[in-house]
Structure 1
Amino acid sequence: MKKLVSKKDIVNNDKLKKLFERYKDIRIVYLFGSFAHGMEGILSDIDLAVLFDESVDHKKRFQLQLELIGKLVDILEVEKIDLTIINEATLTLKYEIIKANTPVFVRDLEDKIDFEHYILSRYLDRRYYEKRASKEFLERIAKTEI
């Protein structure tokens, strides 16, 4: 197995693009984590995230995830691959995935823009209320004698 893979090897990989193109239910695939940020090390795994069409149910997504991991291992010649299903990820993880801004495959650019806008606006809305609630909580604690 090949051990050294770079961000460029992943993002510019025609075999990966062809693989994802064959799966009509795949809308977008992102690279995220240490490889996306150029911070990979010898022990790093490759973090990929796939967004499936909304019509694909949980069971089918899981089957596709297992199938894709096997094919990704063969194409990239590495064993440490983590394939996240974006459809099932938390809002915070979805934000981290799009924040890395490293798409590997995009079926429809307009769809990608809409998806990222939706996640970004939901995340920023939630973050505002979480910060406000945290501030109020800390102010209440500060007023309480310990």
Structure 2
Amino acid sequence: LRRIDKVSKKAVKEAIRAVFKKHEEILFAYLHGSFVKKDAFCDIDVAIYLERMPASVLEYELQMETDLMKALRKYIVDVRVLNGAPLSFKYNVIKDGIVLLSKDDDKRADFEEKTIVLYLDFLPYRKLYLRETLGVEV
């Protein structure tokens, strides 16, 4: 685990924002995971929403990770595209993450509202499925 102070954390956020501002296709982005919640973390988790899906999401994510790690130099970054991501992932990013960048607040608000409504509508079925198939209470 790595430790980071508030000043360094702020500098990391600004460096990520600077990279994202150069990419017109990124409409909004969130930081989530241990980097947001704690002073110690393994990597920096970033979720981005794109104006349109790339031909290869995996290649896009890997290229963005490379670009961010070059900009940050000493930190590992994990990038995930929110478009098409599992509903539970999107919900947890919204619930536990922080907005890092928003170029279109209306689209971000629509995305958040739709995700939360769908997740809460689906939640009882998810709980039932997990309880019946895995014996897990959520």
Does the alignment reach a TM-score above 0.5? yes
Identity %: 26
Q: How many residues align?
A: 129
Gaps of 5+ in 2: 133-138
Indicate if the aligned counterparts of 2:53 and 2:83 stay in contact, CA closer than 8 A.
Answer: no
> Secondary structure at the residue paired with 2:24?
coil
Is the radius of gyration larger for structure 1 or structure 2? Answer: 1
Alignment match, 2:24? 24
Alignment match, 2:135? none
Once the two structures are superposed, residues 63-114 of structure 1 have per-residue CA deviations (whole angstroms, 9 ceiling, x without a partner) of 3322221221122222421111112421111111111240111111111111
Question: Of the candidates 36, 42, 45, which is equivalent to residue 43 of structure 2?
Answer: 45
Question: Of the candidates 54, 69, 87, which is equivalent to residue 91 of structure 1?
Answer: 87
Structure holding more strand per residue: 2
Question: Of the candidates 8, 11, 29, which is equivalent to residue 9 of structure 1?
Answer: 11
Deviation at 1:3, TM superposition (A): 7.2
> Secondary structure at the residue paired with 1:36?
helix
Alignment match, 1:70? 66
Task: Give the whole-Å Cα distance in 2 for the aligned partners of 1:64 and 1:117.
Answer: 26
Gaps of 5+ in 1: 138-146
Alignment match, 2:76? 80
Q: For CA contacts below 8 A with separation 6 or more, give which structure has more relative contact order.
A: 1
1:57 matched to 2:59? The reply is no
Indicate if the aligned counterparts of 1:3 and 1:78 stay in contact, CA closer than 8 A.
Answer: no
After TM superposition, the score normalised by the length of structure 1 is 0.74
> Secondary structure at the residue paired with 1:89?
coil
After TM superposition, the score normalised by the length of structure 2 is 0.77
1:57 and 1:9, CA in 2 relative to 1: closer, same or farther beyond 3 A?
Answer: same
Once the two structures are superposed, residues 41-64 of structure 1 have per-residue CA deviations (whole angstroms, 9 ceiling, x without a partner) of 2x51111111112x32341x3333
The CA RMSD over aligned residues, in Å, is: 2.5
